[in-house]
Structure 1
């Protein structure tokens, strides 16, 4: 597959980390603090169940067709599902906006090639906290939870910001919002 020219000039803040780390929760709280100062991407996922994580459900056929047409700035498969950032992400970046998105650690090498300004935020928590959060979601069996926890990062993170998400949501959200403001302040202007 040919890698497109870097998407930009806006910045992509890609939030990565293990399942159960609280990425979506921190992103939603940070977006509230930013009061419209960031474009929050909604991932497309080949899951029809809309409970839990905020996403746009897409059929396998539609996902495959859009992927083949090169409509996704970033796409990956994990846990038997297809995930993607939609075309609106490319449009927001072309307009010079900062985009906040939940991504995958495994896509970082590709993302570093695809986005002119990529910033990685790694959100994590201790294994026992992750296990408790995953069990509370009720979407997976105990064996599936163990399998998720055993999954090691597929790429070097080289994160620009690390958040150990064990305190109040407001603390992690404030750190993430401050980081996004910093990225936005350093953004090149679009004529």
Structure 2
């Protein structure tokens, strides 16, 4: 199968609580009206209103769509199923940049499916992540401890590493600069 291009799939990855959604919100505010950029809305087998704005499917409907090949990319993490919809492939085929909250575990599949994949890894110390996860109020303490213990391998070094310990504006500026550079590279 030919890899999709000429546009870019820009995956923002990192451990739970690193601040990916906060940085994505900042970038969305900066590029949300730029027609060359799509901020992918993930589809998740989690009830609506549980954190990020996401599309919701039950497990059976999700699996049926996955088997039919309806998703640009799909993965499992934290006991849930996640996917990026077909609009992702369409934007990339049109030469745009798709920015998505992704998973480190799905990078090999993303690189097989898309010709131009860029990875932004967001990190933060465990103590900072623990505090952020607790503040979300979505999980029990033992679930948070389990999330903090995971360290999936990343198959290659990220294109950008953001140590997200300063202000959200600092990390957001780094992500925005990276997106702007990617747009310039595609022009």
For 1:48-59, list aligned pairs within 5 A.
48-59=47-58
RMSD of aligned residue pairs (Cα, Å): 1.2
Distance in 1 between residues matched to 2:2 and 2:147, nearest whole Å: 33
Shift of 1:94: 1.1
Could you tell me which residue of structure 2 aligns to residue 111 of structure 1?
110
Deviations 1:72-130 (A, max 9, x none): 11100111110000011011111111010000000111111111100000001110000
Shift of 1:155: 3.0
Unaligned runs of 5+ in 1: none
Deviations 1:3-50 (A, max 9, x none): x42122110110000001111110111121224232100000001132
Secondary structure of the corresponding residue to residue 156 of structure 1: coil
Moved over 6 A (4+): none
Unaligned runs of 5+ in 2: none
Distance in 1 between residues matched to 2:81 and 2:167, nearest whole Å: 31
How many aligned positions are there? 185
Superposition TM-score, scaled by structure 1 size: 0.93
Could you tell me which residue of structure 1 aligns to residue 45 of structure 2?
46
Distance in 1 between residues matched to 2:107 and 2:46, nearest whole Å: 23
The question of whether the paired residues in 1 share the 8 Å contact of 2:43 and 2:55 is answered with yes
Distance in 2 between residues matched to 1:164 and 1:82, nearest whole Å: 27
Shift of 1:166: 1.2
Deviations 1:107-166 (A, max 9, x none): 111111111100000001110000000011111111111110110123334100000111
Distance in 1 between residues matched to 2:156 and 2:167, nearest whole Å: 24
Could you tell me which residue of structure 2 aligns to residue 26 of structure 1?
23
Shift of 1:187: 1.1
The question of whether the paired residues in 1 share the 8 Å contact of 2:43 and 2:57 is answered with yes
Secondary structure of the corresponding residue to residue 87 of structure 2: helix
Secondary structure of the corresponding residue to residue 55 of structure 2: strand
Moved more, 139-148 or 50-59: 50-59
Superposition TM-score, scaled by structure 2 size: 0.94
Could you tell me which residue of structure 2 aligns to residue 90 of structure 1?
89
